[in-house]
């Protein structure tokens, strides 16, 4: 089967791991993600993944509880490591080799992020999960995804969500919300569409890195995107 891309960066939110729970990690969601990723590995797609930590801890909301923002963000970065290890375990259970690389050094748990090493793992068909955000407070995992995608020279950033694409308003609250099929980076910024944060969108624009927003919960959607089917919203 022909694919439209050779190397992709998949961005997942921490909240997506909760499933129907109020917090934490749902094993059924992990299994679903692992199966969907396995479907495209066999198409010789190289995959990097960045996952958030919002299902465990979120730095921004921590500041409302009196936690210093930098401290809260550091706690959030550690939460992404927990999620990355959980996802690694599920992907390896379906027979796909993986590596977790962290922006914060923790040698007993994962490799440090070294670009050339990540490049080599990807070339060998291993899924590389980039944990720990950017390693700095005040930056989101959206920005980490845009940064890592730029560094590994990905062809596309895939933002897996629970809705079908980018809408003009929240489709879960407004049944008449209109979905966009295509947007420019500038339109996303001008319309203040909450796709990714400002820094992430700007970074993708500067590196001419397209973003595809799609529903990751629908079986086969990930495979459909990489073979070029017209689903989700393309930002370029």
In percent, the amount of the chain with pLDDT more than 90 equals 81
Average pLDDT, the chain: 93
Asked whether residue 149 is assigned to any structural domain, the reply reads: yes
* Domain contains 178: yes
Judge whether 2 lies within some domain: no
CATH number, domain containing residue 155: 3.40.1160.10
Quick check: is 1 in a domain? no
The answer to whether 87 touches 51, Cβ cutoff 8 Å, is yes
Task: Calculate the dihedral angle through the C-alpha atoms of 51, 57, 60, 65, rounding to the nearest 10 degrees.
Answer: 180
Q: Which two tokens stand for residue 172?
A: 């879960």
Of 80, 125, 134, 74, the C-alpha closest to 99 is: 125
User: How far is 12 from 157, CA to CA, in rounded Å?
Assistant: 11
Three-state secondary structure readout of 134-186:
CCCCCCCHHHHHHHHHHHCCCCEEEEEECCCCEECCCCCCCCCCCEECEECHH
Residue 167 lies in a domain: yes
Q: Which of 7, 36, 9 is closest to 144 using CA atoms?
A: 9
Q: Which domain holds residue 208?
A: 7-235
User: How many whole angstroms separate alpha carbon 108 and alpha carbon 124?
Assistant: 23
In a domain, 45, yes or no: yes
How many angstroms separate the first and last alpha carbons of the chain?
Answer: 25
The listed range with the strongest mean pLDDT (112-116, 169-173, 174-178, 229-233) is: 112-116
Q: How many domains does the chain have?
A: 1
Q: What is the pTM of this model?
A: 0.95
Q: Could you read off the pLDDT of 117-134 as tens digits, one per residue? A: 999 999 999 999 999 999
Task: Tell me, yes or no, whether 192 lies in a domain.
Answer: yes
Which token pair is 73? Answer: 């963000």
- Residue 128 forms part of a structural domain: yes
What mean pLDDT comes out for the span 89-100? 98
Percent of the chain having pLDDT more than 70?
97
Quote the tokens at residue 62.
């921590």
């Amino acid at each position: 089967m022909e694919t439209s891309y050779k190397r992709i960066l998949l961005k997942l939110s921490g909240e997506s791991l909760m499933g129907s729970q109020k917090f934490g990690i749902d094993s059924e969601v992990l299994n679903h993600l692992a199966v969907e990723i396995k479907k495209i590995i066999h198409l010789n797609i190289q995959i990097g993944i960045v996952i958030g930590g919002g299902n465990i801890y979120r730095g921004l909301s921590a500041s409302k509880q009196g936690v210093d923002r930098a401290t809260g963000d550091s706690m959030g970065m550690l939460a992404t490591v927990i999620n990355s290890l959980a996802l690694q375990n599920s992907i390896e259970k379906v027979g796909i080799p993986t590596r977790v690389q962290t922006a914060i050094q923790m040698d007993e748990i994962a490799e440090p992020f070294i670009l050339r090493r990540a490049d080599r793992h990807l070339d060998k068909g291993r899924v590389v999960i980039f944990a720990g955000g950017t390693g700095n407070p005040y930056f989101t995992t959206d920005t980490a995804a845009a940064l890592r995608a730029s560094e590994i020279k990905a062809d596309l950033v895939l933002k897996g969500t629970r809705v079908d694409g980018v809408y003009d308003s929240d489709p879960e609250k407004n049944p008449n919300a209109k979905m966009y099929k295509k947007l420019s980076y500038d339109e996303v910024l001008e319309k203040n569409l909450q796709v990714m944060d400002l820094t992430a969108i700007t970074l993708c624009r500067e590196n001419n890195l397209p973003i595809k927003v799609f529903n990751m919960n629908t079986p086969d959607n990930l495979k459909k995107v990489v073979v070029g089917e017209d689903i989700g919203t393309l930002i370029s």
